[in-house]
Chains A and B, each alone.
Chain A
Amino acid sequence: MRSAPFTIPVLAATLAVVLGAVPSQAQQRTTLPSAVDSVYRRALNALAAGDTATALDALELVQRGAPRFADAFYQHGVILSRRSEMGLAPDDIFRRRRAGEKLEAALDRDPNNPLYLLELGRLRLKTPFLRIEAERLFAKAQRAARARGDAHLLAIVEYELGLVSARRFNALRHRRILTGTATALDLEAAADDWHYIPNFLEQRSAPVADAGELDRLKAEEHFHAALAADSSHEGAAADLLALLYESARSAEMLPLATTLARRQPRAPRTWLALGLALSERDRVDEAAFAFDSALALLPDSTRREMLDVAQWLRPDDATQLARASRSEREATELAWWRSADPLALTPVNEARVALLARVAYADLRFTSEEAGLPGWRTDRGQIWIRYGAPDVIATLAPETQEVNGAESTARVITIWWYRANALRFVFRGPPAINAAGFAGNFRAYADNARRIIPMSLADVHGALRLDTVPVQVARFRADSGTRVELFAELPTDRMLRDVDLTPALVEGGFAFGADAAQRAPQMQRDSLRLPAGPRAAAVRRSWARTVPSGREYAYRIEARQPDTGRGARGDGTIGVLPLGAGGAFDISDLVIADHVIGAADAVERADYRIDANPAMRYLPGDTVALYWETYNATPREGRIARLRVRVTVRILSIDRGRSFSARLLGGIADAVGLSAVGDEQVSLTYERSARAGMMVPHQLTLQLGDAPPGQYALSVEVTDMSTGRSAHTERTLTLERPSS
């Protein structure tokens, strides 16, 4: 069991509510002798100060001094009741029994006091098998509160009745019955074997249609009644909003949350719920505002904990982050949020909104007053926030006999199954109580899962249908520093394939900088109008920046179709080292292109037109054009340098069939001194003369012929024959299987 840091504040708050509750009829009737009255006041003061031991002693004295004074018994019962846990531990049974006696004594003296009935009902809820009795007491309290015309109390009672139904609904909602020979869920197998849970769900259990529907209807009625009696009832508001969200009724949730946020502007839970409703309605900008409003109302420590990036990192990384200096930590956190943002083109970080929506849901749904834990700190809440909504949720009825040790005995088993990454989590908790923790070894399993998959934003990317922008980055020497060229292919063919608008607008964005990963990237934006539908084609773009060497740079290239919200993104970092420093012979990056066109006397990069292939993907029969530069070649005769070029194509992974080299060799053009080496590698070597100097451009064209699909490493090694020094560069290209 986790520690419950909120238990003491919750107890104190509850007692404060109790102290402030309406005076009972008995109290109104009874005038306490002054000596007893002062003792009673002492008891209340002690209670308010959290000194329950003194309060209990004083209340015992009051009960002896004024045996008809019901409130003394009630207060005594409340203290004992709140200090008892649910379950069958002897201490708890004893404490509950004593609390029950005191509350019944209060009711003997003031029958039909709704407050007393309510507290007795709450006490009964903690006792297994007495929940129906609890509901009966709440119903009686409801009638009594109505008869008294006490709206505040009526709201509390309606809320309790709603909670009884809501908890039952939550326990029943995803209910499955075991079929075939299955008798129980094997927790060990569930944790050890990823096949077990999907098999169990598909073959050994069947969902029960409409399970818990009546309880949902009842819960909704009661929560509405609670809010009708007291519109400021935060609990009823939160639970009603959770119920609407769970029923996929965000259209109903939104106006209610808006109204409640207006009525309860200082209640962070209501703002969180409003943010959740807005994000569900795809009103991301407004959701971000609502979440920020909620965060602003939370204590600093809670806000920091809620948004702590460490919870979404692998445990080792989280430990490392915790050890980092404050400035490093802040920089890393900022970089994490920037990186998580699916599209910097939009004003809102959709990932942040999605994560806060998960926090909001966990808060609404898993907050357990019994355990004194906010929902986002519970086991279920943590998993929900980390991985989002599971693909399948299933609950199994409590076992009446002991099976699997005591794991499932008298406990509801809840299964969460994430199909895409085969993650599964099993929780167990008492029926009709909103508390559940990891079952069996699933805490250890969750820790292990976090090492492999620290978190997932697949739902956010799925909603945006986020695509990838392939980017090829090449570094060349420049007069001052390094010239970085970025070649990107915006996947507008896929983004616009089923868009039926013409012309379709596509917004593009480009950011490049030394600390672009940390700062809000200043996007250089533009827009394109393109044909949509089946005629849509991918668009290639390129950018160049000359930057000082010796630093790491980050780039981000994005495309977004505003009508559909679809986006694509390519990003990364690149280290820029000086090329040819100190006059050393050096080579640039290799550019893989479809075409490289340059005049015969071309001597500068500007003399070449390069149609780079950013994805470096080709089809059999395509031509691969290469471009690179060498620097600081030493002259051999006059001003002419002699260079030996060796181009090698090596198989990385391939569908091996016939001999590879035989197919590739025939396609190499412009080759002098060709030599094939081995069966998995082919290289060509040639020598060339070039004007010695700062930079020598090179280009080469390869014909792929009918080489088989696969991945190939393409490397270029150039040797300065004057000095014998070599420089080397390499790329990987993919030869795709032609689509049928």
Chain B
Amino acid sequence: MTPRLRIRLRTLVLAGALSAQQATAPALLAQQARVDVTTHPGERRVPRRVLMPFVMGAAAALAASAYFVGSAEDPVGSCTGPSCVLPMSIGIGLFVGYLMGREMDQAFALRYRRGAPVAPTAQALMLEGEPQWLAVSAQRGAAGGTGGVQLFATDGAPRLLARRAVGIRGIHGVALTPSSVLVAATTGLYEFAADSAIGMRVRDGDVTACTELRGRHVVAIGERLELSPPPGRSDSTWRSTSAGAPVRALATDDARGVVWVATDSSLGAFTLVGDSLTRQSSVRLTGGVRTVRTDGSRVAVAAGERGLWLFDVEGGTSARVRFVWTGTRFAYDALITRERLFVAAGGEGLFVLDARAARGAVLGIARQTGFAVALGEQGDYTYVLDRTSPALHRIRSDFSLR
């Protein structure tokens, strides 16, 4: 082998090693979240400060092996011979690897300080705009936010059906009825018939939340709860009831005919008495409420920075707080699915709590669902809205936590 060829070969090996190192280091950092999530919790995760020195040491050894290609007969400088370069490179590699691994471990510790990572298998549907609100029914789902409402199918893997309310600004929520999509926005309540591409504003005002109770629309405008006239009646007057404080979120228990109304200071149960909504009970609540959800026997309130409030329902209309969980910086949404309680916690991921426990007990944290802001359930599946991708993820509600 000629000296020239040796130098060329050495350069090639060195370049290969360095580029491998360049490529793996940022990629490992960038991919850490994904790697961490798919790693199972507890003792099975190898600390990166242990793993990374080996990775980087190996990369350094590969780089240093360039000096073993042929014989380095013309050393220049103080550390250009194989006997110096190899240990020096490996040493630097180990050190850099340790630093990188330590950083990864710190990030891991911060991300999973409240619970172990879990990895549900998800089917994803890419969305447009910046969706923030989600409603799911047996027929379809609706994701609303900046850019309008995107309708998707819920009879299998999610697929996009149509777009509605294009460009409507200040969307505060979406709700589905058997025949239409309701959109609550700063400028009013909009209704889009399921089989029509054209909608209309059905109520003026800054509508902060909307739902449906036994075929009638219920909207929140400031401190007022408004109930649409019964279908088919000539009277077009909406019935108004005061909630006592600005209403933030609504949820319906259609089976019991109850509307759960969350303000920043209380959670109230309203039922239809005669032709208007009447408060049946009220329980104290603090925090900037974002959503309220019920499965009939329990009510979950996602109260933003005030965490998650779980209530047990007694007698159909009376709520008693079971626990307040503040294990996340910000609870965007919550969902009760039998024995699990999901909390969409934005960038912190999707928290899985034990819905049967007397206090908030985290079963796991899933981070591959992205910036989780809204949740919905249909059948065996939970839908998670990821604001930043933006995407809709569909996971099995009872996915394995191991």
- Give A contacts to B, CB under 8 Å: 177, 208-210, 213-214, 217-218, 220-221, 224, 247-249, 251-252, 254-256, 258-259, 282-283, 498-502, 505, 532-533, 562-566
A224 to B33, CA, bound (A): 23
Map CB proximity to A onto B187-201 as digits: 1 under 8 Å, 0 otherwise: 110101000011111
The interface centre, meaning the residue of A177, A224, A563 with most chain B CB atoms within 10 A of its CB, is: A563
A213 to B111, CA, bound (A): 11
B288 near A255 (CB under 8 angstroms)? yes
Q: A252-B305, A252-B330, A533-B198 are in contact. Are A209 and B30 (CB under 8 A)?
A: yes
List, in ascending order, chain A residues with CB within 8 A of B373's CB. 251
A318 to B290, CA, bound (A): 47
List, in ascending order, chain B residues with CB within 8 A of A214's CB. 103, 106-107, 110
Q: Which residue of chain A has the shortest Cβ distance to B164 in the bound complex? A: A500
A563 near B201 (CB under 8 angstroms)? yes
List, in ascending order, chain A residues with CB within 8 A of B256's CB. none
B198 near A502 (CB under 8 angstroms)? yes
Q: A214-B107, A502-B198 are in contact. Are A251 and B168 (CB under 8 A)?
A: no
Cβ of B388 < 8 Å from any Cβ of A?
yes
Q: Which 5 A-B pairs have the closest CB atoms?
A: A209-B30, A255-B288, A564-B167, A565-B169, A214-B107
Q: Which residue of chain A has the shortest Cβ distance to B165 in the bound complex? A: A500
Q: A217-B107, A252-B329 are in contact. Are A282 and B169 (CB under 8 A)?
A: yes
Map CB proximity to A onto B164-198 as digits: 1 under 8 Å, 0 otherwise: 11111110000000000000011110101000011
A282 to B288, CA, bound (A): 18
Across chains A and B, the number of contacting residue pairs, with CB separation under 8 Å, is 89
B347 near A563 (CB under 8 angstroms)? no
**Other-chain contact of A499, B33, B167, B329 (Cβ < 8 Å):** B167
Q: Which residue of chain A has the shortest Cβ distance to B33 in the bound complex? A: A210
- Give B contacts to A, CB under 8 Å: 26, 29-30, 32-33, 103, 106-107, 110-111, 132, 164-170, 185-188, 190, 192, 197-201, 287-288, 290, 304-305, 329-330, 332, 346-347, 373, 388
Q: Which residue of chain A has the shortest Cβ distance to B168 in the bound complex? A: A563
A501 near B201 (CB under 8 angstroms)? yes
List, in ascending order, chain B residues with CB within 8 A of A213's CB. 107
A501 near B107 (CB under 8 angstroms)? no
Q: Which residue of chain B has the shortest Cβ distance to A503 in the bound complex? A: B200
A563 near B330 (CB under 8 angstroms)? no
List, in ascending order, chain B residues with CB within 8 A of A258's CB. 288
6 new A-B contacts, CB < 8 A, other than A501-B168, A502-B200, are A210-B29, A220-B329, A251-B330, A252-B305, A498-B167, A501-B199
A283 to B170, CA, bound (A): 8
A249 near B347 (CB under 8 angstroms)? yes
Q: Which residue of chain B has the shortest Cβ distance to A256 in the bound complex? A: B305
List, in ascending order, chain B residues with CB within 8 A of A499's CB. 166-167
The interface centre, meaning the residue of A210, A258, A566 with most chain B CB atoms within 10 A of its CB, is: A210
B30 near A210 (CB under 8 angstroms)? yes
How many whole Å from A260's CB to the nearest CB in chain B? Answer: 11
A209 near B29 (CB under 8 angstroms)? yes
B288 near A500 (CB under 8 angstroms)? no
A501 to B329, CA, bound (A): 38
Q: Which residue of chain A has the shortest Cβ distance to B132 in the bound complex? A: A251
A565 to B110, CA, bound (A): 41
A584 to B107, CA, bound (A): 85
A255 near B305 (CB under 8 angstroms)? yes
List, in ascending order, chain B residues with CB within 8 A of A533's CB. 198
A208 to B28, CA, bound (A): 11
B110 near A500 (CB under 8 angstroms)? no
A213 to B28, CA, bound (A): 13
